[in-house]
Chain A
């Protein structure tokens, strides 16, 4: 009797789940994108004879079915909860929690990647700016401060730094690691906090020889509810960060020109990114997010800064620190060779003896194939 009833309940529940999943999937509207994952979601694929026969339709439909699954974020949270809380996993998909931060495991060290990065930088120097004074500085990712200290595997940072230093002859290395700590990074994001970068910016200014022009006179403006990139990946309830940006007359009046696109950007802080409905990352307010070549002009440049120019080869960490170096220069050109092939650079950048800084995070150095 009990068995019969149990099996009937099992049947009803199973059919309810399967039918419920189907009906919700069909009738709930599809989402255009996932903010948590910073990506567009798949749309229902079109059926064509070639896509059906070639098996492409089934592949695309599987992706669509996963991307548009009802309550997808909720299900991702269920998995995260099971992984971290029930199964005692130390990381899930490489995401770990330590000291109130969400971090991403970055290991092991890819020595070949570090050698490739160094070779790329030297090659750029030799072909584009052989006469320039060239500097190199590496930004440690958050795992530098959190991983090993909390029992997680970490890449061999010292070995990476050594490879980079030894294989970039003629470059002046600026070590910023001792100016940073885990607290200088957002808890839910990979990036550092602009408001915490006084020591780092000063160290760079010292290394670049513009310390005399360096000022730390900013007004801090807070933007609440910044859910960083790791927040979405962790899929766990985590308090959002506050994103703070620093303004001064120099940053307010700076002119930002997107050289590759041939258009003038709003400014060093592009607040339109918060409301334009296109940007998926609040960190994009810093220099409008990803761009191949930007030129930032300091309209207040005076004294030693007048006529002084800097070119920074960079990744996204530079977006938030470059405005803090602006007082030392009349212009800073930012080049991201993840988005433009190096051979095209002379078309967009006038190399004429400016100082050049290679400022890269350790994550990029460890995956340097993305540098074109």
Chain B
């Protein structure tokens, strides 16, 4: 089920909120678990069993590590076992065909399994690993209540597309969260902003991006498509994160932020501190630092950086495009850290911005293309091989100009700063009481209008 669907907004969410707030406190996690399982099973009824098994293994391993807390060797074995059991379904469902295809390319002739990728498996697998790793390190106590642990892992707001909420982020909230009308209002506003970002901007930019792929090629069209794609992916994913965070707030949770205006960055290093922050910090804490981080020899440090970026790319998808996409950022980060540091520091800010935007644009063309050949063709089309302008390309640019403009401004902190300034005065605060709810209602109703009218509504991050 998609958040940006009539079924979710006007059926599922209504039912969840009604039952959740009527239920007594001790049953709230059970209510959340039941609705989360329904939410998951709605699209993939059979694969819910796989998720429940993963939760069960995580739960048992957590308890065992608690039991072996004074036996480091046994505890470590538990952690290894837990990571293996967690990663096995991910490897089987997501990566088997990739490995088979590569073996076939080397001469083997194995049949592809063509397994359906369970929705959200990359997210819930990482959450289970973070739980057992935190229990292993002693950062979290083992969860004795299986319903509470299952509710955390299956929690519908973040189940299928993040943010990656670590157990330690919500362990306290699972047992002691509070609810209030104000939190519902705050969460509702955040959810509505995310809905608008997804439905009114990301989906529309997706139309532009698709239209420019099928129109007569031109250099202008290629650049506009690269910009549209970059903004589409940002508004799609950050919109989803906003909706997840908003829903969490309504239900009394505090989820971590996942985006912080990544396109205002001045380097790839900064970009990844602002883009998909929960994934970046997950890899930092559970891969990079355990490998030694930067406190090792330069060679090992470089190895650690490449390992993280290889895995970051591979996590996004079982294809060489994604691996290269991750490694592309790995190379940029290494260059910024070891080769160009002094040079970058001397560059004017505007040039550093341009560098980052160009790098991001190229990277997302690689990210989005169905295969390496298409990726290289689309990247090369930025620099020639077609007329500067085509009539159809120009038409589409004019057709979507306002949305592109809104998206470009919306990807910066400017709107937030302006509204904060506007509503900081006494009169502004009074006006906000009326204007902000009106804005939220307009966002929901116009988004509903777009949903009712259109069918173009895929979530890009569903495939991860």
Name A's B-contacting residues (CB within 8 A): 2-15, 17-19, 21-22, 25, 52-55, 58, 61-62, 65-66, 69, 72, 75-76, 78-80, 82, 86-91, 93, 107-108, 151-153, 235
Contact = CB atoms under 8 A, between A and B. Distances in A.
Interface stretch (B228-236, B351-359, B447-455): B447-455
Interface in B410-464: 429-430, 432-434, 436-437, 440-441, 444-446, 448-454
Interface stretch (B25-33, B82-90, B372-380, B400-408): B400-408
A219 to B, nearest CB: 42
Contacts of A87: 402-403
B185 A8 contact: yes
Contacts of B182: 3-4, 7-8, 11
Interface string B205-234: 000000000111000000000000000000
Interface of B: 1, 5-7, 9-11, 13-14, 17-18, 42-46, 181-186, 188-189, 191-192, 214-216, 391-392, 395, 398-403, 429-430, 432-434, 436-437, 440-441, 444-446, 448-454
A7 B402 contact: no
A285 B37 CA distance: 53
B441 A6 contact: no
B449 A2 contact: no
B43 A21 contact: no
Contact of B440 (A2, A10, A79, A89): A10
25 contacts: A2-B433, A6-B185, A6-B433, A6-B437, A7-B181, A7-B183, A10-B188, A11-B185, A11-B188, A13-B440, A14-B184, A15-B184, A19-B18, A58-B43, A61-B7, A62-B6, A65-B10, A66-B6, A66-B452, A72-B452, A75-B448, A79-B453, A88-B402, A108-B215, A108-B216
B395 A8 contact: no
A11 B184 contact: yes
A66 B451 contact: yes
Residue from B185, B186, B392, B445 having most chain A Cβ neighbours under 10 A: B185
Contacts of A4: 182
A75 B432 CA distance: 26
A66 B192 CA distance: 19
A140 B44 CA distance: 47
A236 to B, nearest CB: 12
* Interface SS of A by simple majority: helix
Nearest to B403: A87
A84 to B, nearest CB: 11
Contacts of A153: 215, 391-392, 395
Given A18-B17, A78-B446, A108-B392, A10 B185 contact: yes
Contacts of B401: 88
Nearest to B10: A21
B227 to A, nearest CB: 17
B453 A65 contact: no
Per CB-CB distance, the 8 closest pairs between chain A and chain B, nearest first, are: A7-B185, A10-B185, A14-B188, A11-B185, A21-B10, A11-B184, A78-B449, A7-B182
Given A6-B185, A7-B185, A62 B5 contact: yes
Given A21-B9, A62-B5, A87-B402, A151 B185 contact: no
A65 B183 CA distance: 29
Given A4-B182, A14-B440, A55 B43 contact: yes
A82 B449 contact: yes
A331 to B, nearest CB: 45
Contacts of B215: 108, 153
A40 B45 CA distance: 29
A6 B435 CA distance: 9
Given A15-B188, A65-B10, A75-B453, 6 more contacts: A7-B182, A7-B184, A11-B181, A18-B14, A21-B9, A79-B452
A60 B120 CA distance: 22
Nearest to B446: A82
A320 to B, nearest CB: 30
B44 A14 contact: no
B9 A2 contact: no
Contacts of A2: 429-430, 432-433
A57 B161 CA distance: 23
A10 B189 contact: yes
Contacts of B43: 55, 58
Contacts of B18: 19
A89 B205 CA distance: 13
A9 B185 contact: yes
Contacts of A80: 453
B347 to A, nearest CB: 36
Nearest to B188: A14
B181 A5 contact: no
A151 B437 contact: no
B10 A90 contact: no
A75 B183 CA distance: 29
A5 B189 CA distance: 14
Contacts of A3: 182, 429
B185 A18 contact: no
A62 B2 CA distance: 10
A13 B453 CA distance: 23
Given A2-B430, A21-B10, A75-B453, A52 B186 contact: no
A10 B9 contact: no
Contacts of A152: 395
B436 A53 contact: no
Contacts of A61: 7
A90 B403 CA distance: 12
Residue from B183, B434, B449, B451 having most chain A Cβ neighbours under 10 A: B449
B191 to A, nearest CB: 8
A202 B444 CA distance: 55
Contact of B453 (A6, A15, A76, A151): A76
Given A18-B13, A82-B446, A88-B402, A10 B437 contact: yes
Contacts of B17: 15, 18
B242 to A, nearest CB: 14
A14 B192 contact: yes
A90 to B, nearest CB: 5
